[in-house]
Structure 1
Amino acid sequence: MANQQEKKETTNTTGTEKQRKATTGAWWKSTVTAEPGDAAKPPAKPEPDEAPVKDHGQPAEATKADHPPAPSKDEPPPVTGAQDKAEEPAPSGDAPSLTGEAEPPPVQKKRGRGPRKKSKPKKEQSQAVPEDDEGEEDERANVVKLLINAEEPEECRLALLEDGRLESIYVTTVSRINTRNNIYKAKVTGIEPNLQAAFVDYGTEKNGFLPFSEIHPEYFRQDLSDDIRELVEAHQWKKVSITDVLEKGQEMLVQVVKEEVGSKGANMTTYLSIPGRCVVLMPGSDSHGISRKIAGEERRRELREIMDALPIPEGVGWIVRTASIDMTKTALNRDVRFLIKLWKEIKTKGQTLAGVGLLYQDHDCVMRFLREHFDPMIQEIMVDDLAAFEKVQDFVEMLPARQKKVRVKLHRGARPIFNQYSVEDQIESIYQPRVNLPSGGSIVIEPTEALVSIDVNSGSTSKGKNFEETIFQANMEAAAELARQLRLRDLGGLIVVDFIDMRVTKNIREVEKKVKQMMKRDKAKFDVSRISRLGLMQISRQKLGSPIESGNYQICQYCRGRGTIRSVETLALFYLRRIHTGASRRQVTRIECRFPLEVTHFLLNNKRHELLELEEKYQTELVISADPAMKPTEHDISFVKAEKEDAGNK
């Protein structure tokens, strides 16, 4: 989950893009020349032609802007002052949208108070981790408990509660193993020039999808023609075909940026990032930066000096995460040394592994959540498993003194932990299509293959005297709830919301503002459009993984996912037509049928006359039997032909 959890933390990098074909001590097949004990060279100053920050599907902190030149859909323009500007303490909340477009300025200017502001956080808590702005801090001040249900080995669940209300849920099951952020040794099995992408075998049933823009130049063929080499050096990626620089059978290290969804394979990248609590290491890169959420030039300079003094090998980039705002030099040093040691183990395993396979697997559900989502505003952590409880305690011990105020308790109650805090019913509600609103309205969420549709219904809300005001109230409630439901259900892609029609332009703008304000609490990238004249709003939300429902539910064996089945009468007539068609063929002397119980009863009781006519007309024997074990859509019809005459009589 590390790859997009810090997506709102726009990073700033000051590394130098190098044109050489090999990075010393960083690439997986190279020899390590800089040991962790050696002093790292100070980073070079930015060059005028430094590449701009670009998201390759890694954590926003691990943006691959300053990797060795990578192909992309558009030729990267030169950056002259963007790097220096990014180094300055930028205002929080500059979250990039899914499409890379900035959100409308009016929303950022008026992003003030949250809708559920009840109490102000304590001063010592508000100083622990500065939030994007005062409004978001007030909203998140009500987060009081984190419940961890890890008692059963088949399933691990973590629920974040805000005043007893479920705000986030993370589930890992045996059938839904998380592969995001895993690193594999892979082999190119297919190249599609029309897609400008390659398919790689990394040891699973489905091949991974590797776009051209995610292929590190280190993997380009060595025997490039002069024309192609000039285009690569000039970053003219639109004029370069993937078949010119890549060939089948090549081995490479890849990382999962998006898990398999349905029949689609996982999206891969060769720009590796190894996340820690404080730092993200980026092997094969010369970039370095500090999260823009860390405000204050003095603190940023301190962190930069600390990182420059740490023994980081040449050719390994780094990003300081937001969690490092209160970290000491010792904590940063410990985190960096651990990540460097981990990278050396991954590289060694990749060099010695025969064939393809897994090289690095991300932490378990508990540690991954704490690493990516722990917030000092969490006041209490309840755990029902002793092993998980010890992991949480060890994690809290490594936190700075300001963040150690969280209480960690082992649940020993007679009732299950989620039942005791009334979470089970809230979890079950996220699997239902209809969600009721406080004023009497509701929203209906229907995921489809192409998009997710959300319909807002007024219900009893429209019974008020002031119709426009009640409709506005229902839409405002729906705006807040739909953002929460998208986060809980982890629905991504294109979302279309059908709001109740409003006549007042001011109300329409308030609903738009409300949606954007509530969506900013989401960890995924998003982009929100205005409400059209038809009352429709389009939301594009980044897919962080498979929807939570896919890991807990199976497709219905009766309806095959349609939600409806044919009626008994329709099925009976359908089977009767098939019997008629088969009986009309020559040499059919016997027809044996097995149908579900209800269908059999209907045919024998309501269609007996038609069945007798078929037997007399085609001189065939019709046998229909009921099988209670059959599902409504199952059937078995066998046509027995007459025995063939002797060969001499033919």
Structure 2
Amino acid sequence: MKGRTILLDHLEGREAAALMVDGKLDDLFVEGDAPPPGTIWRARADRPVKGQGGMFLTTPDGPAFLRQVKGLAGGAHLLVQVTGYAEPGKAVPVTAKVLFKSRYAIVTPDAPGLNLSRTIREDDERDRLLEIAHEAMAGSPFGLILRSACAGADEAAVAEDIAAMLALAQQVSDDPGTGPERLLDGDGPHALAWREWAAEEVVTAPGCFASHGALEAIEAARGPSEPLPGGGHMFVEPTRALVAVDVNTGSDTSLAAGLKANLACAKALPRALRLRGLGGQIVLDLAPMPRKDRRPFEAALRAALRGDSEETVLAGWTPLGHFELQRKRGRVPLAEVI
């Protein structure tokens, strides 16, 4: 089955969305129990944490943690937005830079100005989109970012999307309440799929996960083993402190076996982490390879992560030869929901 297909279904009673690329599961969103990223609260500042340069906040859904606090006094109320999922027992990470994000537009109340995605390079297309943006944002003090999905999109659809996000931003910003309150729910899996994925086909029939082969791939992702081309294997195992990734060459005993397995790991790792919903500290225990091959591995990993949906920082090599990453916890771990 060639091409990209979006499947909208439910998984063990939870809303879920799967992206199939050429018949293979490439991405997965599953509804969790915690407030999803994008949720907006009016929160109350509670107490500062001087050693971490942040502030604990009180929200209607429990404690939250805001980093890089400056000039915020205890007892003050402010709008914050959930940025990711917290580890069990920890406060939810939030930001005071609230965004209103849709398929085509991102409205930025705290950052005025009109901006276009850098992936849109054609001058005529940029001029067309800027004209739409200027007309839709006329008189508004808010800022706007037009996303890459705008390229070639229908003018009316882009304008409608901007207007919807602008109205939502104005409504939330003007809310007259005073105490901690949830003002906006973050997008669920189906809305996220519409917002973030592009595909030739969208299937919404109940049971489409089973009929399109997604269930088998999801079941495989629940285990640690991830096969690599050439007969090697990668084992992805989350612990309380970090995610450990072990790379094995398998039956390949050639001199270049280590490098081949590690390059295959670099290519497969973003998908393996996406499907499992894993983030935080990630340590790669790679197959043995000469030091001179470290640079090609880093280049391959950086290229693979370039198109990934979650922000990942390459921290570098440890004295023991492990490679470390720091990945945003932007998804609920698959093991916690099914």
Note whether the superposition's TM-score is higher than 0.5.
yes
Partner of 1:201: 58
2:12 is aligned with 1:156: no
2:307 is aligned with 1:486: no
Partner of 1:335: 161
User: CA 1:315/1:527 → structure 2, altered by over 3 Å: closer, same or farther?
Assistant: same
Deviation by residue 1:260-317 (Cα, 9 ceiling, x = unmatched): 3211111222222111222111124323211111112232233223322334444211
CA positional deviation for 1:203 = 0.6
Q: Do the aligned residues in 2 keep the contact of 1:149 with 1:383 (CA within 8 Å)?
A: yes
- For 1:211, give the aligned amino acid: R
- For 1:359, give the aligned amino acid: L
Deviation by residue 1:27-81 (Cα, 9 ceiling, x = unmatched): xxxxxxxxxxxxxxxxxxxxxxxxxxxxxxxxxxxxxxxxxxxxxxxxxxxxxxx
CA positional deviation for 1:177 = 4.6
User: CA 1:144/1:279 → structure 2, altered by over 3 Å: closer, same or farther?
Assistant: closer
Select the residue among 66, 70, 78 that pairs with 1:210: 66
Partner of 1:357: 181
Partner of 1:266: 92
User: CA 1:197/1:472 → structure 2, altered by over 3 Å: closer, same or farther?
Assistant: closer
Deviation by residue 1:333-371 (Cα, 9 ceiling, x = unmatched): 3222222322333234x30x3522111113332122211
SS at match of 2:106: strand
Select the residue among 171, 176, 185 that pairs with 1:345: 171
Q: Do the aligned residues in 2 keep the contact of 1:508 with 1:531 (CA within 8 Å)?
A: no
Deviation by residue 1:517-536 (Cα, 9 ceiling, x = unmatched): 22223111223366678542
1:250-265 equivalent positions in 2, closer than 5 A: 250-265=76-91
User: CA 1:503/1:345 → structure 2, altered by over 3 Å: closer, same or farther?
Assistant: closer
Select the residue among 147, 167, 171 that pairs with 2:30: 171
User: CA 1:191/1:499 → structure 2, altered by over 3 Å: closer, same or farther?
Assistant: closer
Partner of 1:296: 122
SS at match of 1:460: coil
Q: Do the aligned residues in 2 keep the contact of 1:362 with 1:368 (CA within 8 Å)?
A: no
Cα distance in 2 for residues equivalent to 1:504 and 1:354:
58
Cα distance in 1 for residues equivalent to 2:315 and 2:98:
33
Q: Do the aligned residues in 1 keep the contact of 2:249 with 2:261 (CA within 8 Å)?
A: yes
Q: Do the aligned residues in 2 keep the contact of 1:150 with 1:383 (CA within 8 Å)?
A: no
Cα distance in 2 for residues equivalent to 1:368 and 1:182:
13
Select the residue among 225, 242, 245 that pairs with 1:451: 242
Cα distance in 1 for residues equivalent to 2:298 and 2:187:
38
- For 2:322, give the aligned amino acid: L
Partner of 1:246: 72
Partner of 2:202: 381
Instruction: Name which structure has the greater RCO, CA cutoff 8 Å, separation 6+.
Output: 2
Name the TM-score, length of structure 1 as normaliser.
0.48
Query: Who wins on radius of gyration, i.e. which is larger?
Result: 1
User: CA 1:191/1:511 → structure 2, altered by over 3 Å: closer, same or farther?
Assistant: closer
Select the residue among 522, 534, 550 that pairs with 2:336: 550
What is the aligned residue count? 338
User: CA 1:147/1:297 → structure 2, altered by over 3 Å: closer, same or farther?
Assistant: same
CA positional deviation for 1:181 = 0.7
Partner of 2:43: 186
- For 2:64, give the aligned amino acid: G
Deviation by residue 1:75-101 (Cα, 9 ceiling, x = unmatched): xxxxxxxxxxxxxxxxxxxxxxxxxxx
User: CA 1:441/1:343 → structure 2, altered by over 3 Å: closer, same or farther?
Assistant: closer
User: CA 1:433/1:363 → structure 2, altered by over 3 Å: closer, same or farther?
Assistant: closer
Cα distance in 1 for residues equivalent to 2:214 and 2:136:
45
Q: Do the aligned residues in 1 keep the contact of 2:34 with 2:85 (CA within 8 Å)?
A: no
Cα distance in 2 for residues equivalent to 1:438 and 1:282:
43
CA positional deviation for 1:330 = 2.7
Structure 1: gaps of 5 or more residues:
1-140, 214-241, 386-415, 553-650
Deviation by residue 1:502-542 (Cα, 9 ceiling, x = unmatched): 2483x544433332222223111223366678542222322
User: CA 1:151/1:544 → structure 2, altered by over 3 Å: closer, same or farther?
Assistant: closer
Cα distance in 1 for residues equivalent to 2:274 and 2:229:
19
SS at match of 2:299: helix
SS at match of 2:275: helix
Deviation by residue 1:588-615 (Cα, 9 ceiling, x = unmatched): xxxxxxxxxxxxxxxxxxxxxxxxxxxx
User: CA 1:455/1:195 → structure 2, altered by over 3 Å: closer, same or farther?
Assistant: closer
User: CA 1:286/1:421 → structure 2, altered by over 3 Å: closer, same or farther?
Assistant: closer
Cα distance in 1 for residues equivalent to 2:54 and 2:313:
26
CA positional deviation for 1:209 = 0.9
Q: Higher strand share goes to which structure? A: 2
SS at match of 1:157: strand
1:344-493 equivalent positions in 2, closer than 5 A: 344-348=170-174, 350-351=175-176, 353=177, 355-373=179-197, 375=198, 378-385=199-206, 416-462=207-253, 467-493=254-280
Cα distance in 2 for residues equivalent to 1:483 and 1:316:
34
Cα distance in 1 for residues equivalent to 2:36 and 2:4:
30
User: CA 1:446/1:150 → structure 2, altered by over 3 Å: closer, same or farther?
Assistant: closer
Cα distance in 2 for residues equivalent to 1:519 and 1:178:
26
Cα distance in 1 for residues equivalent to 2:96 and 2:184:
14
Partner of 2:150: 324
SS at match of 1:263: coil
Cα distance in 2 for residues equivalent to 1:503 and 1:344:
57
Partner of 1:401: none
CA positional deviation for 1:497 = 1.3
CA positional deviation for 1:168 = 0.9
Cα distance in 1 for residues equivalent to 2:233 and 2:178:
56
- For 1:331, give the aligned amino acid: A
Cα distance in 2 for residues equivalent to 1:193 and 1:494:
23
Name the TM-score, length of structure 2 as normaliser.
0.89
2:314 is aligned with 1:528: yes
Partner of 1:502: 289
SS at match of 1:335: helix
Cα distance in 1 for residues equivalent to 2:266 and 2:67:
35
User: CA 1:211/1:483 → structure 2, altered by over 3 Å: closer, same or farther?
Assistant: closer
Cα distance in 1 for residues equivalent to 2:281 and 2:200:
35
Q: Do the aligned residues in 2 keep the contact of 1:180 with 1:256 (CA within 8 Å)?
A: yes
1:55-94 equivalent positions in 2, closer than 5 A: none
CA positional deviation for 1:447 = 1.8
